[in-house]
Structure 1
Amino acid sequence: MPYQFTVSPDFGPDQLAGWHIFNTWMQRQLETDIHFETFDSFDAQRQAISEDRVDIIYANPYDASFLVREKGFVAVASPRKPDETTIAVPADSPVNDIESLESGCRIAQTDDPDISMMGMIMLEPANLDKSNTETIIQDSYIQVAKALIQGRADVGFFLREAYEGLSSLVKSQLKPLVTSDIQLVSHTLLLGPKLAQHKDELGKRLLSMSEGPQGKSLLDSLGFDSWNPVDEEEMEFMIDLMEALVA
């Protein structure tokens, strides 16, 4: 039975083909069968993780705590591109800064927990929190953009990479207010207990991926330039940081 590989549901639709190719690349590196499966929501993915149906995952930083501390996953590498949150409003909105947002505003977002958390922290200068705002959950970042454009939401939270990946037509109808600059959290490629012994081997090959034209092309299709190694201490620091922010 093949091992199961999945990625956090917040990746852009234009990256799906790249992740399929990356899965093929991993099969060659590890000389084993790996099945790539995507999930429509974080809840569905977490259910699969709880049922031990995931062996390799490109995980968002919020889920790393459960994966590492409860399920025994080990970190291999992170992209050299930290996760940041972009907050945007419709292009014709009178709001030009965070402080101008008012109580009762409708927030469109996906169920990507780390982006939601960072977005809410960034709204604190306007004295906004979950008690005086309305959350509108969307299935994808393009749906978040549509909610803003169609007037169903006043403000939207985006993974910066997802916002930058929107078409020029869509972005012309939006107005970004602010983008975070935390530089401390990122998605991470994790191996489950069944494959943990391949951590060093896979890590070395990931780090050298950017050295050849084929590797560079694959990385470009995934939306970043190269991989960084992640040791246990760095992973624990990021988990502690995320848990502190949630608290």
Structure 2
Amino acid sequence: MILNLTVSPDFAPDHISGWYIFNTWLQRQLGTRVHLELYDCFDKQREDIKAGKFDLVYANPFDASMLVRELGFKAVVRPLAKPDETIIATNAESTINNVEDLQPGCQLVATDDPDVNRIGMIMLEPADLDGDNTKLKTVDSYIIVAKHLLNQQADAGFFLKDAYDELSDLIKNQMKVLVSSEISVVHHALLVGPKLQQYIPQIQKFLLNMSSNEKGKGVLESMDLDGWEVMTDEETEFMIDLIDTLID
């Protein structure tokens, strides 16, 4: 049996090798081959997920909603103490110091990560800004979002907080944060497809024990994770309902 794993494209490029290390570790724990496929585009990945290509998905909150509600996946674990938050930032030399300084017609830049973008737009509401009176440019990665801000090609940009934090100090020192969300109940999660759900207790056990031995700790470090915690059905449904409310 060969299992197929994919990972939400919003992780930092520095951790590509970490996911391959995790993939090798997972194969050894499960005693079966696991093929990891990474994407640099959310839309292409969603297309392949909907086509039934994957058995395991490390998904962002928006895609977790699709996976559970439409495709019958089940959330198994989420990263320990690592909620998904959204940051709005601008160039450090900009005269914009808070979201209220942004004006109608301003140029925004973001990836095509829908939950980050929706939360970002909600955080712009105090400035009476929305999709109708702003211009949003979509780019392929958070590095490119930062580049647009540094080159003064946009007034503000939306970032997943983890992605912003993992930018180099050289880049972050040329930007300033206008606002950061504090939702705390929105997370990435590892989800298991319908064909594998009898193995969920086994998969959970392996993942929850990762941080208790040196080899597992090393794998987690390479992914910039401290560990995993169980994600219950109730927590999954609550998060999905919240995301659906935000997106609608």
Distance in 1, Cα, partners of 2:219 & 2:227: 10
Aligned partner of 2:33: which letter? Answer: D
> How far is 1:44 from its partner?
0.2
In structure 2, C-alpha distance between the alignment counterparts of 1:236 and 1:103, rounded to whole Å: 36
CA distance in 2, matches of 1:99, 1:23: 44
Q: Report the equivalent of 2:211.
A: 210
Give 1:187's aligned residue. 188
Q: Which amino acid aligns with 1:130?
A: G
Aligned-pair distance for 1:59?
0.2
The match for 1:39 is: 39
Residues matched between the structures, number: 247
Other structure's SS at 1:62 match: helix
- What is the correspondence of 1:87-126 to structure 2 with a 5 Å cutoff? 87-126=88-127
Aligned counterparts of 1:214 and 1:3: Cα–Cα separation in 2: 22
Deviations 1:17-64 (A, max 9, x none): 000011111111111111000112110001101111111110000111
Q: How much does 1:205 deviate?
A: 1.5
In structure 2, the partner of 1:75 is 75
Structure-2 separation of matches of 1:232 and 1:238: 10
Deviation at 1:179, TM superposition (A): 1.1
Instruction: Describe the SS at the equivalent of 1:63.
Output: helix
**2:27 equivalent to 1:27:** yes
What whole-Å deviation, never above 9, does each CA across 1:194-239 have from its counterpart, x for those lacking one?
2111111111111111112222222122122111101111111111
Name the residue aligned to 2:202: 201
- SS of equivalent to 1:64: helix
Q: Is the 8 A contact 1:90 1:175 kept in 2?
A: yes
> Is 1:55 aligned with 2:65?
no
1:2: how far off? 2.1
Q: In 2, distance between residues paired with 1:93 and 1:41?
A: 30
The percentage of aligned residue pairs carrying the same residue is: 53
* Residue number in structure 2 paired with 1:142: 143
Distance, in Å, in 2 between the alignment partners of 1:179 and 1:157 is 10
CA–CA distance in 2 between the matches of 1:241 and 1:214?
36
CA distance in 2, matches of 1:114, 1:204: 29
Secondary structure in structure 1 of the residue aligned to 2:61: coil
How far apart, CA to CA, are the structure 2 residues paired with 1:12 and 1:28? 25
Unaligned runs of 5+ in 2: none
Q: CA RMSD in A?
A: 1.0
Tell me how far apart the structure 2 counterparts of residues 217 and 118 of structure 1 sit (CA, whole Å): 33
Q: Which residues of structure 1 form unaligned runs of 5+?
A: none
SS in 1 for 2:87: strand
Paired residues for 1:152-167 under 5 Å:
152-167=153-168
Quote the Cα distance in structure 2 between the aligned partners of 1:181 and 1:212.
Answer: 32
Tell me by how many angstroms 1:146 deviates: 0.2
SS where residue 135 of structure 1 aligns? strand
Shift of 1:3: 1.7
Contact kept, 8 Å, 1:30 with 1:198, in 2: the verdict is no
* Residue equivalent to 2:242: 241
Structure 1 residue 151 corresponds to structure 2 residue 152: yes
Write out the 4+ residue segments of structure 1 that deviate beyond 3 Å after TM superposition.
none
Q: Distance in 2 between matches of 1:163 and 1:217?
A: 23
SS of the residue corresponding to residue 36 of structure 1 reads strand
One-letter amino acid matched to 1:46: R
Amino acid at match of 2:49: I
Provide, for residues 79-127 of structure 1, a one-character-per-residue CA deviation record: whole Å limited to 9, x for no partner: 0200001110001100111111111111110001111111111111111
Partner SS for 2:153: coil
CA displacement 1:146-176 (0-9 Å, x = unmatched) = 0111111110101111111111111111111
